[in-house]
A = this chain, B = another copy of it.
Amino acid sequence: MKLIVLTGIPGSGSTTILNKTLEMVDYTHLNYGDIMTEIAIEEKIVEDRDELRKLSPDTQKVIQKKAARRIKQKSESANVIVDTHCTISTPSGFLPGLPAWVLEELQPDIFILVEANPDEIIYRRLSDETRTRDVERVKDINLHQEMNRAASMAYATLTGATVKIIENHDNHLDHTVSKMVDLLK
């Protein structure tokens, strides 16, 4: 059984690839934030996902750790792909999505970084009317992808997992998905 972590910055197209890939492989898909919300509701800490962000960092940390444990358990009886953020770009800087206390529980096999060119990412963000996203310049996008690469190697050092970069360029969706399928086999 495999446990895969899938990440990609907004506009990288990681969700599109994930959905197409799930049609072709026998994997259970989990979303890290959903699992955290599920746990926090069960423990009667919050009533919905929005309240999660308002919790103290310490409480969030506890829930984040429990979510990692739950995902790990599910991966013992099924192949699991969990989507989350490698780092989140916040006003206070890049926040690691998989800090040491999460990795300790999660122990995944592969970290996937879905990447695209900054211009592709900018166009995709502009076309996505379902979200309002901060306008980022080419250099901001390059920086975010660079910091994700660095973070992923720190994650790999702590866990022994591999880091796979999947390029997701315009008009190559089938090619990208077939790479994902090969990787998940």
Q: Number of contacting residues on A, CB 8 A?
A: 40
Contacts of A155 in B (CB 8 A): 157
CB pair A158 B160 closer than 8 Å: no
Contact A98 B157 (CB under 8 A): yes
Give min CB distance, A90 to chain B, whole Å.
6
A159 at the interface (CB under 8 A from B): yes
Q: How far is the CB of A159 from chain B (nearest CB, A)?
A: 7
Q: Chain A, 156-170, contact with B by CB distance < 8 Å: what is the 0/1 string? A: 111110111100000
Distance (whole angstroms) from the CB of A21 to the closest CB of chain B: 15
Q: Are B92 and A162 interface neighbours, CB within 8 A?
A: yes
Q: Is A110 an interface residue (CB 8 A)?
A: yes
Could you say which of B91, B96, B103, B163 contacts A156, with CB atoms under 8 Å apart?
Answer: B96
Other contacts beyond A92-B110, A93-B110, A151-B157: 16, CB < 8 A: A87-B153, A87-B156, A90-B162, A91-B182, A92-B109, A93-B112, A93-B165, A94-B163, A95-B162, A96-B157, A100-B157, A100-B158, A143-B165, A147-B163, A150-B150, A154-B154
Question: Which A residues contact B (CB, under 8 angstroms)?
Answer: 57, 61, 87, 90-96, 98-101, 103, 109-112, 143, 146-147, 149-160, 162-165, 182-183
8 closest cross-chain pairs (CB), A and B? A93-B164, A93-B162, A150-B153, A154-B157, A99-B160, A150-B150, A154-B154, A151-B153
